[in-house]
């Protein structure tokens, strides 16, 4: 019986990938906190993972070999604009404290996913060695 990493790791590898992309988006929000007119974005994490459960390929599908393959594995419908609690006069919707809190929480969950995957791989290696 062949070993499939998709079945052995489940959704956790995709969750790690989505957390990494969310880190980039939140960092962009923080970096543009003083940019006039910048609109804060975020990922609907649950929607992305539920989509990943039903469809192994989360990204866009090309119907022609000439189509450009997207490096973005997040469906466009899951990348949303954040609604500000206190919008600024210059049109910027970034709330620095909220973004930093979301970034810290995402970093913590990213590390937890890494730890979980590390233990899964150690368990697989132990099973292959017969330990």
Q: For 49-67, write each residue's pLDDT tens digit.
A: 777 666 554 455 556 666 5
**For residue 109, what pLDDT band results from cuts at 50, 70 and 90?**
very high
- Where would I find the H helices in the chain? 5-9, 12-31, 45-54, 96-129
DSSP-derived secondary structure letter, 35:
S
| Average pLDDT value over all residues in the chain | 82
pTM of the model: 0.75
């Amino acid at each position: 019986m062949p070993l499939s990493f998709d079945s052995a790791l489940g959704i956790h590898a995709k969750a790690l990938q989505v957390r990494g992309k969310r880190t980039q988006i939140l960092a962009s929000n923080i970096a543009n906190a003083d940019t006039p007119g910048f609109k804060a974005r975020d990922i609907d994490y649950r929607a992305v993972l539920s989509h990943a459960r039903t469809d192994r390929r989360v990204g866009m599908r090309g119907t022609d070999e000439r189509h450009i393959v997207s490096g973005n594995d997040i469906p466009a419908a899951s990348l949303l604009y954040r609604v500000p609690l206190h919008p600024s006069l210059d049109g910027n919707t970034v709330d620095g404290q909220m973004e930093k809190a979301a970034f810290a929480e995402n970093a913590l969950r990213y590390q937890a996913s890494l730890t979980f995957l590390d233990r899964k791989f150690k368990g697989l290696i132990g099973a292959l060695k017969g330990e």
